[in-house]
Structure 1
Amino acid sequence: MRIGLAGTGRIGAFHASTLAALEDVEQIVLTDVLPEGAARLAEANGYELSPDLDDLLTRVDALVITTSTSGHAPALRAALTAKVPVFCEKPVASTLSETIELVRLVEEAEVPVQVGFQRRFDAGYRRAREAVVSGELGFLHTVRANTHDQSPPPAAYIPTSGGLFRDCSIHDFDVLRFVTGREVASVYAVGANKGASFFADAGDVDTAAAVLTLDDGTLVTVSATRYNGGGHDVRMEVMGSEGTIGVGYDDSLAVRSAEAGVDYPCGPRKWSFMERFLPAYRTELAAFCDVVAGRTDSPCTVADSLQAFRVAEACELSRATGRAVEMNEIGDAT
């Protein structure tokens, strides 16, 4: 199959390389609003170029959207109109209302769409889900999740990122639903700034935490930061009446023990999300090829994306107002 890719920045180039290595993929066709970058990537790797998205959609079997966030929804709408299957990096839109609209459009178009929440394809999170589904852990009472970046993104990225909960913790919110099979009922969130001023200047925070209550009463703590000097640290602990299972506790764990004589973890550490989730990204895009070929349904839908976005929205509202927010205060497609 021929896969179109819109957006040739860091994650776009990364996905293009992953796609090109898949057996199902015959060719990659690139387009970008900055054509010089697309041309360099195409020349270096033997990919094809397209002058714009409309032309690209006539030449491919599927589209992968890796533009900046503001470009996700327009590209997705164009692909739906062209009846071309889509893989879209999260979030599918910048606002809750636009995300709700896209859920409706996807349902009406009946075009397969997969959203890029790669943690669903990580072996550790999948094992945790199995432990929950099988009853191995008994009833759940507590979940802890964190996403701690080793260093912050460029200052120019922050004003368009959507904020720390929507940009970073949204992965925790999605995989929380995936692992537990439950929905969030309420949130209470806080944030702080101790690093560069550009976070506060954009109305954002560089560190945040939230307490979530699931619809079965399970308690969840979520934390995020842009300043984790020890390395890129993404983990989850799922605790039940019969046992506890942890994700992210291999030798790359970005934590040092304070106990004498303990040599775990022995490294090396991970320093970026692409390094941490490289196998998951490969599995995720292979799954998208299965979706395009009609071998399976989308494993992460726009409706799934909406639910994670709603939790992020609730956390931002809670942080801004200093109160707990019930999820029924946040709009839904229904």
Structure 2
Amino acid sequence: MSGKTIGLLGAGRIGAMHAGILAKKAGKLVVADPASWRARRVAELHGAEVRSPEGMLASEDLDGLVLATPTDTHAGLLCEAARLGVPIFCEKPVALDVESTRRANAAAKEANIPVHVGFQRRFDAAYSAARERLAEGEIGDLRRVHMGTLDQAPAAREFLAASGGIFKDCLIHDFDALRWVTGLEVEEVVVYGTDLGLPDFADFADAAEAVVLLRLTGGVLATAHSSRFNGAGYDVRMELHGTKGTDVVGMDERLPVRSLEPGVAYPRQEPWADFIARFADCYERELDAFLDVVSGRAPVPATIDDALASLRIAIACGTSLREGRPVRVS
């Protein structure tokens, strides 16, 4: 246990999960949510203190703050919370547009506080191994990368309305993992997508299914696939193809696929139900890393600058989908 007092602003699905982790690791947990009943429910479950959002943002006893509110509130709250002068953990994305992200970054830098952005795949053992093995030359020169994030079922309409769409909400994790694992930047994207004629997506100019082709520095090619309707289960993978070998992230015993090859029984366990189940260990390691930042023991593992780089890729994808053309990220 860190002995630190940590504030948690946002007690929805991901905030409740963070509360369960922080309650075991922080000296004291304080919870706030615009819906006070949510804050009380989470606080009672984990023995935490309840404050109003306004009270949280005026607190003088916090050592760190976790922002787990809806996506479209992150940037504004981050600018307000910077005045507390404590390290902040902010769920991705920091904002849905470049200018708001820049303002949040400027506020954090002016307050001289570290901000850790929630890209939890950086704490997954397989993604970390892929990064290390590529850097050590174990698969030779990188030629192609193939990624996919496939949700078993779409989130509620109210979430989709504020999420920023499939590129900023879902594939932004793949974009961050791509940059982090390979050390390369995305130069250009080409996107195909469809809303399948469904109002929950068409009303927000969002895609329910998307395929992205990305050209990286040095000419390496990558693809990213995303779906809101992968009924077999939650499926996240990353393949790195090199001149000496191929490494795959996500090919575990709960991969939601069925092999039709004779004599092959794979996988052998129930598929992943959702992202919280798939990345449960990563979320815990991610908050451990944040508590290390709070204690001054480690640097920030994923910065607002990282979030901005991935957001630019997501915005380029949206432009490509709307305009039906390749789009340079710059």
Q: Which of 216, 219, 222 in structure 2 is aligned with 1:214? A: 216
Q: Which residue of 1 aligns with 2:154?
A: 152
* 1:138-177 correspondence runs (5 A): 138-177=140-179
Task: Kindly indicate whether the alpha-carbon contact (under 8 Å) linking 1:53 and 1:75 is maintained by their aligned counterparts in 2.
Answer: no
**Offset from partner CA, 1:118-176 (integer Å, 9 cap, x none):** 00000010000011110111110100000000001011221211010111000000000
Amino acid at match of 1:6: L
- Relative to structure 1, the CA distance from residue 146 to residue 195 in structure 2 (aligned partners, 3 Å threshold; closer, same or farther) is farther
| Matched-pair contact (CA < 8 Å) for 2:208–2:228 | yes
Structure 2 residue 23 is matched with structure 1 residue 20? yes
1:86, 1:113 within 8 Å by CA — same for their partners in 2?
Answer: yes
SS of the residue 1:216 aligns to: helix
Amino acid at match of 2:217: D
Query: Alignment partner for residue 312 of structure 1, among 306, 310, 314?
Result: 314
* 1:136 and 2:138 aligned: yes
Equivalent of 2:8, from 5, 9, 15? 5
Q: Which moved more, 1:1-10 or 1:73-82?
A: 73-82
| Structure 2 residue identity aligned to 1:280 | C
Which sits farther off after the overlay, 225-234 or 201-210? 201-210
- Indicate the residue corresponding to 2:278 in structure 1: 276
SS of residue paired to 2:316:
helix
Q: Quickly say closer, same or farther: Cα 1:268–1:195, change in 2 above 3 A.
A: farther
Deviation at 1:54, TM superposition (A): 4.2
| Greater alpha carbon shift after TM alignment, 156-165 vs 194-203 | 194-203
**TM-score between the two structures when normalised by the length of structure 2:** 0.96
Residues 169-248 of structure 1 aligned to structure 2 (within 5 Å): 169-194=171-196, 196-248=198-250
Which deviates more, 293-302 or 75-84?
A: 75-84
Aligned residue for 1:324? 326
Give the secondary-structure state (helix, strand or coil) at the position aligned to 1:21.
helix
- Cross-structure match for 2:36: 35
Which residue of structure 2 aligns with residue 332 of structure 1? none
* Distance in 1 (alpha carbons) for counterparts of 2:170 and 2:197: 17
Rate the CA distance shift 1:52–1:198 in 2: closer, same or farther, 3 A.
closer
- Residue 41 (structure 1) shift: 1.6
Number of corresponding residues: 326
Q: How far apart are residue 107 of structure 1 and its match?
A: 2.6
Pairwise CA RMSD:
1.2
Counterpart CA distance in 2 for 1:195 and 1:116 is: 32
Q: How many Å apart are 1:281 and its aligned residue? A: 0.4
Helix, strand or coil at the partner of 2:39: helix
8 Å CA contact 2:172, 2:314 repeated in 1: yes
1:71 aligned counterpart, secondary structure: helix
- 304-313 vs 88-97, which moves further: 88-97
Unpaired stretches in structure 1, ≥5 consecutive residues: 329-334
The whole-number CA distance in structure 1 between the counterparts of 2:103 and 2:47 is 37
Deviation for aligned residue 1:195:
6.7
Query: What is the alpha-carbon distance in structure 2 between the residues aligned to residue 61 and residue 188 of structure 1?
Result: 44
Gaps of 5+ in 2: none
| TM-score relative to the length of structure 1 | 0.95
Q: 1:153-207: CA deviations, max 9, x gaps?
A: 0112212110101110000000000100011011011111237321112211100
Aligned equivalents of 1:43 and 1:19: distance in 2?
A: 14
Superposition deviation, residue 52 in structure 1: 2.6
